[in-house]
Amino acid sequence: MATSREKLQRTVREKLKNYQVVVVSNREPYLHYLKEGKIAHLKPAGGAAHTLDSILQACGGTWVAYGSGNADRKVVDEQGKIGLPPEEPAYTLKRLWLNKEQADGYYYGFSNQALWPLCHFVYTRPIFRQADWNCYQQVNKMFAEAVLKEIGQRKAFVWIQDYHLALLARYIKEKRKDVICAQFWHIPWPNPEAFRVCPMKKEILQGLLANDMLGFHVRYYGENFISTVEREIEARIDKEKTSIICHGRETIIRAFPISVDFQKISKEVDSQPIKERAVRFKEEFSLSGDLKIIFGLDRIDYTKGIPERLRAVARLLEKYPQYKERFVFIQIGALSRVRISQYRDLNDEINDLVEEINWKYSTENWSPIIFVRKTLSFPETLAFYRLGDVCIVSSLHDGMNIVAKEYICAKNNLDGMLLLSRFTGAARELPEAVLINPYDIEDFADRIKQALEMPEKEKAQRMAKLRETVADNDIYKWADKFISELAKTLKALRRA
pLDDT of residue 23: 98
Q: Which residues pair with 292 in a beta bridge?
A: 327
What is the pLDDT at residue 51?
A: 85
Query: How confident is the model at residue 42, as a pLDDT?
Result: 84
Q: What pLDDT, in 10s, does the model give residues 230-247?
A: 999 999 999 999 999 999
Predicted local distance difference test score (pLDDT) of residue 338: 73
The DSSP secondary-structure symbol of 375 reads: P
Q: What's the whole-number average pLDDT of the chain?
A: 95
What's the rounded Cα separation, in Å, for the pair 94 and 443? Answer: 48
User: What's the pLDDT band for 492 if we cut at 50, 70, 90?
Assistant: low
| 328 vs 313: CA distance, rounded Å | 10
pLDDT value at residue 45: 64
Which pLDDT value is given to residue 288? 81
Q: Is the pLDDT of residue 55 over 70?
A: yes
The DSSP bridge pattern shows strands 180-184 and 20-24 to be: unpaired
Q: Which amino acid is at 80?
A: G
Asked whether the predicted pLDDT for residue 495 surpasses 60, the reply is no
pLDDT digits (tens, 9 = 90+) for 30-54: 999 998 889 999 887 667 888 899 9
Section 397-404 average pLDDT: 96
Distances (CA, A) of 91 to 23, 77, 142, 165, 206: 11, 15, 22, 22, 31
Q: How many angstroms separate the Cα of 148 from the Cα of each of 20, 152, 169, 339?
A: 12, 6, 11, 32
Q: Interior CA angle at 282 toward 278 and 288, to 5°?
A: 135
Residue 110 to residue 135: CA distance in whole angstroms: 8
Instruction: For 143-171, write each residue's pLDDT tens digit.
Output: 999 999 999 999 999 999 999 999 999 99
d(CA 167, CA 151): 18
DSSP string, 376-401: PBHHHHHHHHHH-SEEEE--SSBS--
For 111-129, how does the pLDDT look when each residue is reduced to its tens digit (9 = 90+)?
Answer: 999 999 999 999 999 999 9
Helix and strand totals (H; E) in the chain: 20, 18
Domains delineated in the chain: 4-259+475-494 (3.40.50.2000), 263-471 (3.40.50.2000)
The pLDDT of residue 494 is: 58
Kindly provide the residue ranges of all beta strands, DSSP E only, lying in 67-138, ordered along the sequence. Answer: 81-84, 91-96
Name the DSSP class of 300: B
**What's the whole-number mean pLDDT along residues 386-392?**
97
User: pLDDT tens digits, residue range 291-327?
Assistant: 999 999 999 999 999 999 999 999 999 999 999 999 9
Pairwise CA distance, residues 89 & 394, whole Å: 37
What per-residue confidence (pLDDT) applies to 272? 98
Residue 34 DSSP SS3: strand
CB 429 within 8 A of CB 473: yes
Determine contact, residues 188/135, Cβ cutoff 8 Å.
no
pTM of the model: 0.95
The percent helix, strand, coil of the chain (3-state, each to 5) is 50, 20, 35
pLDDT of residue 493: 60
Instruction: Grade residue 412 by pLDDT with cuts at 50, 70 and 90.
Output: very high
Q: Give the model's pLDDT for residue 46.
A: 63
Distance CA 301, CA 303 (A): 5
Give the model confidence (pLDDT) of 248-290 as tens digits.
Answer: 999 999 999 999 999 999 999 999 999 999 999 999 999 987 8
Does the CA dihedral 222-227-231-236 come out positive or negative?
positive
pLDDT tens for 203-219 read 999 999 999 999 999 99
DSSP H stretches of helix in 189-218: 192-195, 201-208
